[in-house]
Amino acid sequence: MKLQKLGKNISDVEIQNISIYGIWLYVNGKEYFLSYKEYPWFKDAKVTEIYNLELLHDVHLYWPDLDVDLELESLENPEKYPLVYE
């Protein structure tokens, strides 16, 4: 049996890949790469912590296990949002 029409995608945010270089996110139809060099909070995180991701108000990414918050605007225009990590 073959479906005539694909169902609606109910996932607004998805971790697509985790590699030794960073993680790939798919959010609202766009793909983002978060390198560990620029986003060091994810480098030593457990896979389950990275996959525990919430999209709030369609613009705010939140990893509750890691206490990491990122606005989509900061991923689209990183030059406007310099990150400082010590």
In single-letter form, the type of residue at position 76 comes to E
How far does the chain reach from its first CA to its final CA, in angstroms?
56
pLDDT for 66 equals 96
Evaluate whether 53 touches 62 at the Cβ level (below 8 Å): yes
Percentage of the chain with pLDDT > 70?
83
pLDDT digits (tens, 9 = 90+) for 20-52: 999 999 998 999 999 999 999 999 999 999 999
Domains, the chain, in order of start with CATH, read: 13-80 (3.30.2020)
Contacts of 71 by beta carbon, 8 Å cutoff, 6+ apart = 59, 60, 61, 81
pTM of the model: 0.78
Q: Which of 20, 64, 25 lies closest to 43 in space, CA to CA?
A: 20
pLDDT of the residue at 37: 92
Inter-residue contact 15 to 53 (CB < 8 Å): yes
